[in-house]
Structure 1
Amino acid sequence: MGMLVLCLVACSLLVDGGSGAAAASGGKEVHGRTPDMRMPGYLYIRTTGRCTPQFWSSGREPWPNTVPHDSSVSKVFGSRLLERYEPGLTLLEATQRTDDIGGSAFSKLVKQSSAALLNAYSRPGFPYSAWEIKSLVLEALVSESSAASQAEQFKQANEACN
């Protein structure tokens, strides 16, 4: 409930463009803004369920011993990933990525597949096994459309998992 109230307050500030702050200051500049300047008008909501990349990157739960957070994605998924990702990219960094929003399909793929792999090792009943995830990732590297499709399937499985 508290988060909803906070969101409503933030939304009302975004809608009126911060005119409340300008009115309170008598129309003077407040924090580098003049009364006619508006704040950005968007809200970004991240899904933070127990199986999402955001959850795994938060450190709220220990990672499975099978895949330490500092393992490189190329060692975990195979050397073919070196064609698309930098050699030092770790699983933790893959789950922390923010370039998947509006970014390439390959960014989305590495983020969602890393979370899916962690879920396969730690969540009984996850719809994919670890070897299946690794195989699907390698198959999806052939094109942007394949990567986008597979990333979306992993995303749905990650968000549906508990």
Structure 2
Amino acid sequence: METEKAIFACGCFWGAQHLFERAAGVVRSTVGYIGGHKEKPTYQEVKAHTTGHAEAVEVEFDPMQTSFTELCKLFFEIHDPAQTDGQGPDIGPQYRSEIFYLNEPQKQQAEEVIALLRSKGYEVNTRLTPASTFWKAEEYHQHYYDKTGGEPYCHIRVKKF
């Protein structure tokens, strides 16, 4: 099976991973850091705002079962793209709304979804950025809610396509 990857930042990566993992066609996901200037950042460094990185989730998916566009739609459903540098109670640049595209088709598809949302009157402050190195977060962050039995506290369905 040939898979593709997508990288999304939409607040706390625990909740994002939890929700993306349950989407049709998603094979696996990894939480980590992207978009900053420091190699191999740690959670403490990202949290201290010293690296420029965002908390993000790298989603590996089967393009025969879902598409990048469908994952973009889910991304916009599970967070508030109007909020800048934070989501709900999580405030700071590491919680920003950002799509890190891996190729031009992903960029174009993300732009189309954003244009659709704006045409419906939604405010979208989501950044579109070429993907840089994705640094895997510490193991205790991986599949956090599966390990703890909890549910995401900071992600909501903002809109439905």
TM-score of the superposition, structure 1-length normalised? 0.22
Which structure's relative contact order is higher, taking Cα pairs within 8 Å and 6+ residues apart?
A: 2
Between Structure 1 and Structure 2, whose CA radius of gyration is higher? 1
The structure with the largest helix share of the pair is 1
The structure with the largest strand share of the pair is 2
